[in-house]
Amino acid sequence: MEQGERRQSGSWHPYLVMLLAGVAIAAVAALRAPEGTATPLVREQFWLRKVEQPAAYEMVLAGDSRVLCDLSPAVMSAVTMRKTLNFAFNFTGYESRYLEAIEAKLDPTVPAREIVLGITPRSLTPLNMRVSGFLEESDRPASERLATRYLGGELSRLRPFVLGSIAVASSGRTSAKNFYPDGLMAVELNPPDPDFDLNTYRTIFVGNKVSEPSIQQLLRKVRSWTDSGVRVYGFRPPVAPRIFEAESMSGFNEQRFVKGFEAAGGKWLRPDASGVVLADGSHVTASNVPEFSRRLAAAIVAARARTGTSAPDAMPIS
Amino acid sequence: MLFNSLPFLFFIVLFAAGWPLARRRDGSRWVYIIACSLFFYGWWNWKYVPLLVATALVDFAAGLAIHVWRKHARKFLLASILMNLGVLGYFKYWFAVASAIDVTSRQLGVPLGLHVERWILPVGISFYTFQSMSYTIDIYWGRLTPTRNPLHFLAAISFFPHLVAGPIMRAGKLLPQLLSGNPASGGAKAEGLRLLVHGYFKKMVIADNLSGLVDSAFTSPVSFHSGFEWWVIMAMFSMQIYCDFSGYSDIGRGIARWCGYDFGVNFRHPYAATSIREFWQRWHISLSSWFRDYVYLPLGGSRGSEVATCRNIAVTMLLSAIWHGAGLTYLVWGALHAAYMIAGRFASGALAAVAPWLRALAGRPLLWVQVMLAWVFFRASSTEQAAEIAGAMFGMRSLAMGLSRTALFFLVVGIVHEVATYFLDRREPEQLIRTAEALGLAMLVVACVFLRGPAGAFIYFQF
């Protein structure tokens, strides 16, 4: 209280109010449950680590959340014998900056370099070109990166609550996300619900169709990669039948795309997804990720063998 | 630097640590304010710091010249106004105007080949040029004696709590306050804390949580939403822009209160107004009073005939629209408000005579409809999109409702917060904080941390 003033009884000094707020924030932060339990990596550190990965990989997995959550580099590298990075991001489209960044993660000094692209209709729409998890994470201000690097764990406790997940919890379901250093974000929803994401897929393509210029841009890039000796594989990540049906609203013509993709030098893979459990209808549930990753890796090894360029170090599927 | 960013948190802590020492001595106070404010401004883009300093110094010199050489005062005033409007026009309007000329000339078959380069708009330029202009105009009118110290003027213009998005502080109001280095009283600090907490809550919890749905609605095809949904979306945008802008003003005012200065109220619960005229007495008060004092009244205000008054209203509202931006959408927004005000002038008199109760009953709902319709043009990317949305709103072909429940929740939170503060603001501003309020403020701070939306820039930064 300043000179000449006397605090009235029962009134609070502003500093005391700030202290009270600070204590309340600390209490909520201390009491909140961690987001995942499988790894010590928190979400913010996970994204920063992913964006800042060096050019040190022989195989890069790219795409939107359906690659991000479906593929384990650890499992795949054991099968393909390639040092692998999951470089996928939420709601990401194959725009030019992302395509450049994928290439920049490959180690230029090794001869056997491979890129695996998860192709979803959504990743070829104008919305994902514009509003992209990759762009969001890449464009984070330096101050935020600095804070994440040094205070990531502590700051993650101050992350805002997502009201949507409170609604999920109140419906009797449990959900979890685990962030792995190799770029996999494993998701769980218990019990799984194949129609959980259906409404999103029914609305996302209204006025937001698959864009031909985006496809052409991607195919040109595939051509330039294959011309420079990089093997490029494409596949369509698994999805629940009703969501697959909803995706038809996007105008995506898979047959035509595959034709163009293979004409550009890429290899289209059709990994066996039978029996793979999807958490929310469009992402493989955490416990099934190793199996699906193994099947995709096997398909890659088989493709190498078919083209007669099978790497001598490739291992049979375990 | 954004008020809602991590660097600002460090900046304000360091500023607050140095302020008690700097404020005591006259020389150090001015230097400290200027140095911190220019650092705050330069954090965004240091290349525009010289522009800010140069325009301020030109107006400082013009102010002195007007005062000393009264015979040539008009010339100096004109030079100052032309410089300010020239800078503003170059950065804010040249691209749009030159593009339009270029396109037209090509269509007419006489291509002028204008070199159209789009500059980054210096943040806050519309605010600080208006502040600067009011200084020279007030000196010309004899309402203000110029300061003889350029540091004083530069500090008043660049003081960071109002620099980039207002309130538009007139030098005549701020300069005398900055002369004092007295510490803030306990009451002032209590008021400052209230302003800071409510300001951050409005910005981070309400505005930022509504922005996602509003942005997505305006980037999707209009037909994607039903007519009823468009009304709700516009209610959300009305809440978002109010909480965003008034939140920024409150944070700036709160910081100033802690420094011992008073910026005055910039928003006084505008949606509680019962007429458009009253709305403009409550919305962005520092800008509307600027236009009133420097445009509307010099044009003759309401002293002339009805026709002249209507013309003055229209000119003022259209200039206010142009201040916001060069687009046709802003012009339509201003024209709509002018039309509302002119219609209101005639209707309110007639209504008061026939059924005074009707105005009290229907005033607010009518105002909300008018304001929401005008916001459609303010927010839309083109007049075509705005017309389509307005058509959907009034066509009401569908009553379907499928908007995100989270966004609806934050709209309700915004309404509850606005009603609560409407009644709370009736007390003395400098009233000390009681226990119940202390708990409430602490809860709002907790909400700012754990319910904050995706951090976005303040809407009015673009102006």
Span B132-136, average pLDDT? 92
Is there a contact between B442 and A208 if contact means CB atoms under 8 Å apart?
A: no
Is there a contact between A206 and B224 if contact means CB atoms under 8 Å apart?
A: yes
How many angstroms away from the CA of B431 is the closest CA of chain A? Answer: 9
Is there a contact between B193 and A206 if contact means CB atoms under 8 Å apart?
A: no
Chain B's closest residue to A159, CA to CA, is B450
Q: Tens digit of pLDDT for each residue in B174-206?
A: 888 988 878 888 889 999 999 999 999 999 999
- Enumerate domains of chain A plus CATH numbers: 14-306 (3.40.50.1110)
How many angstroms away from the CA of B244 is the closest CA of chain A? Answer: 19
Chain B's closest residue to A9, CA to CA, is B434
- The model's confidence at residue A143, banded by pLDDT at 50, 70 and 90, is confident
Higher pLDDT, B77 or A11: B77
Q: What are phi and psi of A118, to 5 degrees?
A: -85, 115
Q: Measured between CB atoms, does A8 come within 8 Å of chain B?
A: yes
Q: Tens digit of pLDDT for each residue in A265-276?
A: 999 999 999 999
How many angstroms away from the CA of B274 is the closest CA of chain A? Answer: 35
How many CA atoms lie within 13 Å of B444's alpha carbon, on the beta-carbon side?
A: 26
Q: Tens digit of pLDDT for each residue in A27-50?
A: 998 888 777 667 778 888 899 999
The answer on pLDDT for B349 being more than 90 is: no
- The model's confidence at residue B74, banded by pLDDT at 50, 70 and 90, is very high
Which residues pair with residue B239 across a beta bridge?
A: none
Residues of B engaging A, defined by a Cβ cutoff of 8 Å: 5-7, 183-186, 189-190, 192-193, 219-221, 223-224, 405-406, 409, 432-435, 437-439, 441-443, 445-446, 449-453
Chain B's closest residue to A144, CA to CA, is B6
Is there a contact between A158 and B406 if contact means CB atoms under 8 Å apart?
A: no
The answer on pLDDT for A308 being more than 80 is: no
Chain A's closest residue to B204, CA to CA, is A160
Is there a contact between A20 and B442 if contact means CB atoms under 8 Å apart?
A: yes
Is B162 within 8 Å of B127 (Cβ atoms)?
A: yes
| Catalytic positions of B | 324
Give percent of chain A above pLDDT 90. Answer: 59
- The model's confidence at residue B458, banded by pLDDT at 50, 70 and 90, is low
Span B230-238, average pLDDT? 94
- The model's confidence at residue A230, banded by pLDDT at 50, 70 and 90, is very high
The strands making up A231-235's β-sheet, listed across from edge to edge, are A84-86, A59-62, A114-118, A231-235, A267-268
Q: Tens digit of pLDDT for each residue in B46-67?
A: 888 999 999 999 999 999 999 9
Is there a contact between B452 and A160 if contact means CB atoms under 8 Å apart?
A: yes
- The model's confidence at residue B395, banded by pLDDT at 50, 70 and 90, is confident
The answer on pLDDT for A317 being more than 70 is: no
Measure the CA–CA gap between B299 and B278, rounded to whole angstroms.
21
Measure the CA–CA gap between B168 and B126, rounded to whole angstroms.
9
Chain A's closest residue to B212, CA to CA, is A131
ipTM of the complex: 0.76
Q: What are phi and psi of B282, to 5 degrees?
A: -115, -20
Is B190 within 8 Å of B431 (Cβ atoms)?
A: yes
Strands A185-190 and A174-179: antiparallel
Q: Tens digit of pLDDT for each residue in B241-276?
A: 999 999 999 999 999 999 999 999 999 999 999 889
Between chain A and chain B, the number of residue pairs with CB atoms below 8 A apart is 86
Residues of B in contact with A141 (CB under 8 A): 5, 7
Instruction: Compute CA distances B446 → A201, A268, B190, B242, B456, whole Å.
Output: 34, 51, 18, 22, 19
Closest Cβ–Cβ partner in A1, A11, A160 for B451 = A160
The answer on pLDDT for A315 being more than 50 is: no
User: pTM of the predicted model, to two decimals?
Assistant: 0.83
Q: Which of B198, B449, B451 to mutate to test the interface with A (most CBs of A within 10 A)?
A: B449
